[in-house]
Amino acid sequence: MTTSPAGPFTPLAAPLSAPPRRIRVDVWSDVACPWCFIGKRRFAAALARFPHREHVEVVWRSYQLSPETPAGSGRPEVDALAEMKGLDRGQVQQMFAHVTAVAATDGLRYDFDRTLAFNTFDAHRLLHLAAQAGGAPLVEATMEALFTAHFEQGADLGAEGALVALAGRAGFAAHGWDADRVAAALAGDDAADAVRADLAEARALGVTGVPFFVVDRRYAVSGAQPAEVFTQLLDAGWREANPPAAVAGGDVCGPDGC
């Protein structure tokens, strides 16, 4: 018997009757963040091994690393980052070489020779439209398509029509959103308020870098951590949401007598 601060109670492995309480993981990320794609893969690996994964809701939230980037067609990422950070091209290329090597260990094939910097606001709008159209599965497919197009294929996601074409590849049409409907939504202001709300909440939480993972607004982890750290985060959130029941001890009879 284990004695607890509240009395001589024995923790049970699971509650007697109540179903497990779901936990929610909010993830702030930016399509233009190379560590976010790596973090996404590592978190997915941890979630795939988590025994209660069917009771975990994952919500992807918007964040912009460079909101001042002009809208429209992109320009070489190395030039944009060198200008923003005040570095020479050689220093930026060294940074890219490092993150490329790390990404490769997680099965990603970054190509910064082709990567183009672009304003990601409309890409985040597209992710919110995916949530409206097809829920979490379509968000997942759209995010993978965005990251892959940007970091591995050198696509110009700021070019006119690029996000509409990507939405088609991600599967919007299967949910009743053909190219014309996606184009009309992006041409207007659809989902812009949802993106702004995510950005405002990130500021309120003090988020200054991404990826940033929050479980039930109680536990947080910043950065592309190893999968084992994400496992610990999920475990902590699960224990908080589903504490073991407790039974008081006393004199009992068992198989060996009384």
Q: Give pLDDT tens digits for 59-87.
A: 999 999 999 999 999 999 999 999 999 99
CA distance linking residue 227 with residue 93, whole number of Å: 27
What's the mean pLDDT when you consider all of the chain? 92
User: For 47-70, b where at least 16 C-beta lie within 10 A, e where not — what string?
Assistant: beebebeeebebebbbbbbeeebe
Range name among 42-46, 59-63, 161-165, 254-258 with the lowest pLDDT average? 254-258
Tally the C-alpha atoms within 13 A of residue 126's C-alpha that lie toward its C-beta: 33
pLDDT at 248 exceeding the cut of 80: no
Four-way CATH pick for 11-69+120-248: 3.40.50.800, 3.40.50.300, 3.40.30.10, 3.10.20.30: 3.40.30.10
pTM: 0.89
Tens digit of each residue's pLDDT (9 = 90 or more) over 210-234: 999 999 999 999 999 999 999 999 9
The domain segmentation of the chain, as residue ranges, is 11-69+120-248, 75-117
Contact between residue 227 and residue 45 where contact means Cβ atoms under 8 Å apart: yes
The per-residue pLDDT for 12 is 56
How far apart CA 41 and CA 231 sit, in angstroms, is 13
What integer pLDDT is reported at residue 60 of this predicted model? 98
Structure tokens at 228: 């084992």
Q: Which of 18-22, 96-100, 150-154 is least confident?
A: 18-22
pLDDT > 90? residue 245: no
Where do runs of H (alpha helix) occur along 50-187? 77-85, 89-105, 121-147, 162-170, 179-187
Average pLDDT for 134-147: 98
